[in-house]
Structure 1
Amino acid sequence: MTYIIKKLFQIIPVLFIISFVVFIFVNVSGDPVVLMLPEDASNEEIKAMQESLGLDKPVIVQYGLFLSNVMKGQFGQSFVYKQEALPIVLERLPATFELMIAAIIISILISIPLGVLSAIKRNTFIDLFISGTSVLGKAMPNFWLGLMLMLVFSVYLQILPVSSRGSLLHLVLPAITTGTAMAAELTRMLRSQMLDVLHQDYMRTARSKGLSHFSVVYKHGLRNSLLPVITLIALNISTLVGGALVTEVVFAWPGIGQLVISAVHARDMAVVQACIFVIAIFVIGANFLADILYRVVDPRIKYR
């Protein structure tokens, strides 16, 4: 419990750093007042708007005001949607969570059997085929894979919806597109870990007890190979978020990714700030959850 409390306190300075970085990027991106007012606005109108937003104050004072508002959950008003930015982002959050969780599940369902099979069939044609496919899966860009899947399954075969969000069928292609790269990396990692585990003494002991091959491999071998896999999933959450941004645009998925892309194009900085903070908190939370899962997978681990 002490370890968990310490980890929670470590999140606070990380959020402060993120808030500073976001503030700096917003300030160097240009004056938002120019975008909020019409092109024929007078200098007096621009100055009045700057004063109302606190943009006429020194930078350090502006950061203090920004930090104070962030702690209250206030990121400002979107000049595109004419409402507070955070509710707009939170409204899109379930769609992004749905896509990312589905992508993680698909990547696990693909990588575990392929990684184990590749390790068991080491240096055979099956191993070479799985390894080559993993390299190919990691190398394919998300937008290209999404378009190809859309072309095959939606246009030619007409068995899956093209885009948008609705039933579970709408989720299949975006989830596969987002999870393919992670599945490829997890397969290679799991193969490497299983090759180390299969030759351990406790594995030979399990075989000598007369346990079935399935029980030896999956109950004893796989469980002891999962810790690096959990670490890799946690570290790839940020990459998964980046992939989801592209996927949401390709499939018109109404999540945070599509929102942040449109906000960047419109320079709606209030929405961009809220999106970055929500994504940062999600990534930090995922890594925190991975630390807890270590103990669940391997009770021998002691937190100090």
Structure 2
Amino acid sequence: MAYFLKKIAQIVPVLLIISFVVFVFVNVSGDPVVLMLPENASNEEIQAMQKAMGLDKPVIVQYGIFLLNVIQGEFGQSFIYKQQALPIVLERLPATFELMTAAIIVSIIISIPLGVLSAIKKNSPVDLFISGSSVLGKAMPNFWLGLMLVLLFSVYFQMFPVSGRGSLAHLILPAITTGTAMAAEITRMLRSKMLDVLHQDYMRTARSKGLNHFSVIYRHGLRNSLLPVITLIAINISTLVGGALVTEVVFAWPGIGQLVISAVHARDMAVVQACMFVIAILVIGANLIADLLYRVVDPRITYK
């Protein structure tokens, strides 16, 4: 328990740094008052709005006010939606969480069998094919893969919807698009780790006891290869979020990604700030969950 309290305490300075970075980017992006007022607004109206928003105060004071508002969950009002920014982002959060979870599941379903098979069939044509496919999967841009999947499975074969969210059929193509790069990376990592594990003494002992091949490989070999895979997934959550931003635009998926892209184009900085904080908390939470999973996979691990 003390370990996790320490980890949670470490989140506070991280969020402070994020808040400062967000504040700086918002300030260098331009004057939000100019966007909120009509083009023919007078200087008096601009100055009055700046005073009402506290933009006439010194920068350090503005940051202090911004930080206090963030602690209270207030990121300002969206001038597009005419309401507080955080509820708008939280309304889109389930869609993004659904897509990210599906992408992780897809990547695990693809990568674990391929990674294990590639290690078992080392230097065979099967291994070379899987390794080559992993490199290709990592190299393909999300937007290109998404468009190709839409053309092939939505337009040509008409197996899945082109865009939107609703049923499981709507989720399959976006999940594959988002999870492919992670699947490729996990496959390569798992192959490397399995090659080390297969020659360990406990694997030879398990075989000598007469255990069947499947049990030796998956119960003993795979389980002892999963720790770096969990670490890799946690590290790549931020990359997964970045991929989801592109995927949500390609498939018109109504999540945070599509929201933040439209907010950046419109320079709706209140929504951009709220999106960045929610995404940061998602990434931090994923890394905390990864720490918990270490103990589940290997009970010998202790936390100090």
Query: For residue 43 of structure 1, what is the aligned residue in structure 2?
Result: 43
- Structure 2 residues without counterparts, runs of 5 or longer: none
Amino acid at match of 1:216: V
What is the match of residue 70 of structure 1?
A: 70
Deviation of 1:275 after TM superposition, in Å, equals 0.1
Map of 1:285 onto structure 2:
285
Q: TM-score, normalised by structure 1?
A: 1.00
- One-letter code aligned to 2:108: I
Matched, 1:82 2:65: no
Structure 1 runs of 4+ aligned residues shifted over 6 Å read none
Name the structure 2 match of 1:21: 21
- Check if 1:172 corresponds to 2:183: no
Give the deviation of 1:97 after TM superposition.
0.3
Task: Report Cα offsets for 1:159-196 as digits up to 9, x if no partner.
Answer: 11000101000000000000000000000000000000
| Paired position in structure 2 for 1:219 | 219
Q: Provide the alpha-carbon RMSD of the alignment.
A: 0.3
**One-letter code of the match for 1:132?**
G
Question: What is residue 245 of structure 2 aligned with on the other side?
Answer: 245
Any residues of structure 2 matched to 1:87-166 within 5 Å, and which? 87-166=87-166
Q: Which moved more, 1:288-297 or 1:62-71?
A: 288-297
Q: 1:232 aligns to what?
A: 232
Tell me the alpha carbon deviations over residues 267-298 of structure 1, each in whole angstroms, 9 at most, x when there is no partner: 00000000000000000000011011111111
**What residue identity is the alignment partner of 2:34?**
V
Q: Determine the structure 1 residue equivalent to 2:296.
A: 296
Q: AA paired with 1:42?
A: S
Distance 1:88 1:303 in 2: 38
Partner residue in 1 for 2:55 = 55
Equivalent in the alignment of 2:208: 208
Tell me the distance in 2 between the aligned counterparts of 1:158 and 1:14: 46
What is aligned with 2:260? Answer: 260
Q: Determine the C-alpha separation between the residues in 1 that align with 2:77 and 2:198.
A: 57
Structure 1 position 261, deviation (Å): 0.2
Secondary structure in structure 1 of the residue aligned to 2:299: coil
Structure 1 distance, partners of 2:4, 2:51, is 44
Shift of 1:303: 1.1
Secondary structure of 2:75's partner?
A: coil
1: CA distance, partners of 2:51 / 2:285: 37
Q: Give the number of aligned pairs.
A: 304
Partner Cα separation in structure 1 for residue 156 and residue 295 of structure 2: 47
Distance 1:141 1:11 in 2: 32
State how far apart, in whole Å, the 2-side matches of 1:301 and 1:261 are.
41
SS in 1 for 2:161: coil
What is the identity percentage for the equivalent residue pairs of Structure 1 and Structure 2? 84
| Distance in 2, Cα, partners of 1:109 & 1:17 | 36
What's the TM-score once normalised by structure 2's chain length?
1.00
